[in-house]
Amino acid sequence: MSGSSSPHGRHLAEYLARIQTKSEVYPYLDGTWFRTFDYRRWEPWGGSGDVGWGAWCIEAGWAQAWGSAIMALREKGTALRDLTVHSAVARHQDAVQTAMTRNAGGPWEAPTKEEPGL
């Protein structure tokens, strides 16, 4: 197991669990994390004057997925490295990297006859 039992990891996991949103008024917010947190009041906080962020903005998408996945791995007593150490995913690296860097990051275009496809 790769460090998932460290006291720092435990403290971080406990903190992340404690600051998750819980609301009977807005149950669709349960389990989310607001992007800011007021430690004095021990509650989520967001300033409506933040450029691009309103007071009710939450972290969603990749942040939620990683948080949930890491908590599940902790519950299992394992780490991502332990689950993937014998994976053969590396054999796809060159093809995926070629596909992802095609067109210098521009919009996707089908490979030409000169370029190998995936």
Q: What band does 46 get if pLDDT is binned at 50, 70 and 90?
A: low
Mean pLDDT of the chain: 77
Pair (13, 46) in one structural domain: yes
Pair (14, 62) in one structural domain: yes
pLDDT score of 1 = 42
Higher pLDDT, 50 or 101: 101
Tell me which residue range forms the domain holding 21: 7-86
Pair (56, 82) in one structural domain: yes
Pair (74, 46) in one structural domain: yes
Burial of 114 (0-12, 13-18, 19+ CB in 10 A): exposed
pLDDT, tens digit (0-9, with 9 covering 90-100), for 67-77: 788 888 888 88
Residue % of the chain over a pLDDT of 70 = 81
Overall domain count for the chain: 2
Pair (23, 52) in one structural domain: yes
Q: What is the DSSP string of 83-96?
A: HHTT--GGGGHHHH
Pair (79, 103) in one structural domain: no
Pair (79, 115) in one structural domain: no
Q: What band does 53 get if pLDDT is binned at 50, 70 and 90?
A: confident
Pair (72, 14) in one structural domain: yes
Burial of 83 (0-12, 13-18, 19+ CB in 10 A): exposed
Within a domain: 28: yes
Pair (42, 63) in one structural domain: yes
Residues 6+ apart with CB under 8 A from 87: none
Within a domain: 1: no
